[in-house]
Amino acid sequence: MTLLDTDHDAALQAKARDHLWMHFSRQSVMTDGPGVPIIVKGEGHHIFDSTGKRYIDGLAGLFVVNAGHGRRRIAQAAAKQAEELAFFPLWSYAHPAA
């Protein structure tokens, strides 16, 4: 797992505080609290922060990772598809993979 040294983690916390707007969180967590978790790895249905703390990724299925993180077969299939056509909305067109 990728753990960050304390100085690097502090630098990322400063960048998060100065440049990110966490629209579902209070900004005071970054300025007055412990800071924002810096997520460095996903494995199955877990994500890990820069200190090694493990979380259940409860939002993964809501967005794009409903099959879990680190699924080599899915990553290979996605890479193969991206070589040909990475994305195209189906609003007015079709494509073979659809």
Under a CB-based contact definition with an 8 Å cutoff, are residues 4 and 40 in contact?
A: yes
Tokens read off for 82: 């991206």
Percent of the chain with pLDDT over 90: 10
What are the residues facing 48 on neighbouring strands? 41, 54
The CATH code that applies to domain 6-84 is 3.90.1150.10
Which stretch of DSSP H or E encloses residue 37? none
Distance of CA 55 to the CA centre of its chain: 12
Tell me if 70 sits within 8 A of 44, measured CB to CB. yes
For the chain, the domains span: 6-84
Arithmetic mean of pLDDT, 3-14: 77
The per-residue pLDDT for range 63-90, each reduced to its tens digit, is: 677 778 888 998 899 899 888 887 777 7
Q: Is 2's pLDDT higher than 60?
A: no
Give mean pLDDT, residues 41-66: 84
pTM score of the predicted model: 0.64
DSSP designation for 86: S
6 has pLDDT over 60:
yes
